């Protein structure tokens, strides 16, 4: 029988204790803390993420049911829902933001060599936002419209490995393109965006920083053509032009040249127009690059299905941001574990296995291995038949 560590502390070995303590000290997270440290808070919230707990009472009951195993799992403080609620309300959420960013940096190095499916040496990011609906009575600070409450989560996704690199929470009344003011621009990278990001003053900031963007143009965009290039219409391309913005107010925001590519989907007949500041890639590569942006829509769908962000274990803005960043940290930690252990399973399968094996004493690689139970063909001769045919 295996007498080593449980699965939960084996997963946490991929989280550097030095990095975690550094984030805690930066914001004095353990100042005047007696029994329930920031690490205990993170372990409890990570357990809630991995096992699907949806309330503080649910989390408290489950952890107390295995109280004899908590010390060996890494817990040092006593577990109670009031203590955890106070920690989520008062401890600085930026502790877990910095922890998440440190894990993201490590994960991006592990997934840097992944194939995008197209010939592109640059880093490609997809930028979009998703809305999480809340209860107005419990979250009055997140008032959205009429009798509804919601928050908007803006995410920058590295398409190599689908690693979220930037996360920002805002009101649903905030325009998506306003995020571009705070977005860290990486020179030489591609930023793929939908029509909600058609703000040419902000797009010109990306251009001046030496980065590239590909954005869907709105139907009312007016341009003055300067040059045209021949395209193969059998591929769905309709035009590839160098243009200047025609409207004087818009041209003051973006005075430089742009590339306008028109593409028609041959299966659906849908016509799409893309605007970019990159002139070297082939037009078909640009359209294929934008198609990769759909990965962020799938990422949002996956996160809402597998991470616990629909039910928040606290009603304050600090508690909501804490839970979101711990959810992201848990996701990235599992992605790091998957790559370093060379596990062939999907992230969804890994999370499902972890949800029922966290307190089992079994090697992590064995618990997550692709094993199938042998089907026995030998029948017991003493077994009576249930039915006679």
Q: Which residues, in sequence order, are bridge partners of residue 259?
A: 242, 276
Pairing of strands 271-276, 258-264: antiparallel
What is the longest distance spanned by two Cα atoms in the chain?
91
Q: How far apart are CA 137 and CA 143, in angstroms?
A: 10
pLDDT score of 382: 60
Q: Structural domain boundaries of the chain? A: 7-95+312-367, 195-292
pLDDT score of 301: 86
Q: How far apart are CA 102 and CA 339, in angstroms?
A: 16
- Beta strand segments in 267-347, E: 271-276
What CATH number is given for 195-292 in this structure? Answer: 3.30.1370
Phi, psi (rounded to 5 degrees) for 381: -70, -20
* Distant-in-sequence, close-in-space partners of 290: CB < 8 Å, separation ≥ 6: 192, 214, 216, 272, 274
pLDDT score of 389: 44
- Give per-10-residue mean pLDDT for the chain (389 aa): 78 92 91 86 92 87 90 87 90 93 91 80 89 82 79 90 87 87 90 91 93 90 90 90 91 93 89 92 90 89 78 86 91 91 88 90 84 51 52
- Residue 89 CA to chain centroid, in angstroms? 23
């Amino acid at each position: 029988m295996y007498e080593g560590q449980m699965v939960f502390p084996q997963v946490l070995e991929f989280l550097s204790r030095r990095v975690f303590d550094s984030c805690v000290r930066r914001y004095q997270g353990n100042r005047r803390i007696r029994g329930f440290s920031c690490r205990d808070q993170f372990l409890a919230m990570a357990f809630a993420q991995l096992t699907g707990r949806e309330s503080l009472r649910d989390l408290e009951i489950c952890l107390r049911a295995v109280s004899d195993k908590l010390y060996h799992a890494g817990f040092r403080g006593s577990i109670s829902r009031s203590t955890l609620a106070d920690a989520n309300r008062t401890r600085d959420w930026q502790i877990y933001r910095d922890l998440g960013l440190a894990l993201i940096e490590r994960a991006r190095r592990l997934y840097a060599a992944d194939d995008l499916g197209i010939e592109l040496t640059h880093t490609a990011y997809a930028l979009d936002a998703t809305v999480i609906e809340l209860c107005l009575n419990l979250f009055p600070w997140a008032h959205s419209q009429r009798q509804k409450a919601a928050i908007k989560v803006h995410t920058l996704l590295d398409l190599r490995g689908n690693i979220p690199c930037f996360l920002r929470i805002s009101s649903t009344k905030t325009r998506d393109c306003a995020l571009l003011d705070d977005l860290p621009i990486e020179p030489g990278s591609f930023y793929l965006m939908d029509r909600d990001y058609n703000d040419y003053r902000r797009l010109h900031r990306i251009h001046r920083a030496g980065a590239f963007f590909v954005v869907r143009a709105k139907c009312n965009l007016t341009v003055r053509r300067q040059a045209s290039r021949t395209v193969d219409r059998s591929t769905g391309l309709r035009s590839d032009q160098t243009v200047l913005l025609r409207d004087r107010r818009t041209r003051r925001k973006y005075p430089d040249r742009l590339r306008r590519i028109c593409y028609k989907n041959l299966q659906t007949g849908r016509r799409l127009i893309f605007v970019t500041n990159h002139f070297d890639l082939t037009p078909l590569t640009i359209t294929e690059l934008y198609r990769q942006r759909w990965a962020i829509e799938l990422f949002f769908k996956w996160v809402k299905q597998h991470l616990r962000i629909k039910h928040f274990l606290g009603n304050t803005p600090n508690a909501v941001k804490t839970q979101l960043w711990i959810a992201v940290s848990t996701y990235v930690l599992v992605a790091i574990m998957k790559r370093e252990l060379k596990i062939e399973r999907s992230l969804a399968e890994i999370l499902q296995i972890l949800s029922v094996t966290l307190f089992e004493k079994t090697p992590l690689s064995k618990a997550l291995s692709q094993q199938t139970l042998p089907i026995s063909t030998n029948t017991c001769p003493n077994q009576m038949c249930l039915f006679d045919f």
